[in-house]
Amino acid sequence: MVQVTPLLLILGMVLVAPGYSAKKCVLTGRWMNELGSNMTIMPVNGKGEFWGFYHTAVTATTNKIQVSLLRGSQHRPNQQRHPTFGFTVKWSFSDSVTVFTGQCFVDEKGNEILKTMWLLRSHVDNIKDDWKATRVGTNVFTRLRPRQECSWEQGDSQASDDDDDSASCSFCSADCCFQ
Ligand code: BTN
């Protein structure tokens, strides 16, 4: 006699498995790092190229901070789950340039995270000062979500509720919530 249950199980796997795909990390959207800087990445094109806006929370200068343009590219859009990428910010309020390189991950809770390293090149007037013109560091970015998705009050921390999309946020500010 043929066992029906294992057959149904195999049939189910055959039908469901091709449709299954793990969540991919997508660069497009709004991000914030641990310094409080935020950036908006516009839709990535078919060649993996993108541009956007960067609003830094800090500066190595005494100049007034202004939003600056970023331009970059990523590997194989829509194909890789954790794509590598790089982008350049040409600061609009200083003579400096920062290059970021990193990788877009989906963590174990399903939250997207950008792990980056950067080089900030500041302008110096004399080649003798070249040795001190480049800073290096790391930044970790998490996705900013619209304030409407927060079901709790500004400034409240929230207990995790896995059924709710806003559960991926842990803190609300004026217009966004943070993971
Ligand atoms: C400047 O000070 O000349 C331009 C601003 C540099 C801001 C740096 S870039 C690396 C680090 N990450 C940030 O979000 N801001 C700082």
Q: Does the beta carbon of 94 lie inside 6 Å of ligand 1?
A: yes
Q: What is the pLDDT of residue 2?
A: 53
Give residue 75's pLDDT.
Answer: 95
Model confidence at 160: pLDDT above 60:
no
Give the ligand 1 atom nearest the CA of 122.
Answer: 3
Q: Is the CB of 37 under 6 A from ligand 1?
A: yes
CA distance linking residue 43 with residue 52, whole number of Å: 9
Summarised one tens digit per residue, pLDDT across range 53-111 is 999 999 999 999 999 999 999 998 778 899 999 999 999 999 999 999 999 999 999 99
pLDDT exceeds cutoff 80 at 3: no
Mean of pLDDT values over 113-135 = 98
CA distances in angstroms from 30 to 1, 14, 35, 138, listed in the order given: 58, 37, 15, 18
With residues binned 3-state (H G I as helix, E B as strand, rest as coil), the percentages for the chain, rounded to 5, are 15, 40, 45
Model confidence pLDDT, tens digit, residues 13-62: 444 444 446 899 999 999 999 999 999 999 999 999 999 999 999 999 99
Report whether pLDDT(5) > 90.
no
What's the pLDDT score for residue 17? 47
Distance from C-alpha of 157 to C-alpha of 149, rounded to nearest angstrom: 14
Q: How far apart are CA 70 and CA 29, in angstroms?
A: 13
Answer whether 143's CB lies under 8 Å from 111's CB. yes
At 4 the pLDDT is 58
Query: What pLDDT shows up at residue 79?
Result: 83
Residue nearest to atom 8 of ligand 1 (CA): 59
* pLDDT above 80 (res 144): yes
Phi, psi of 14 (to 5 degrees): -65, -40
Question: Measured between alpha carbons, how far is 37 from 42 in angstroms, rounded to an integer?
Answer: 17
Q: Is the CB of 33 under 6 A from ligand 1?
A: yes
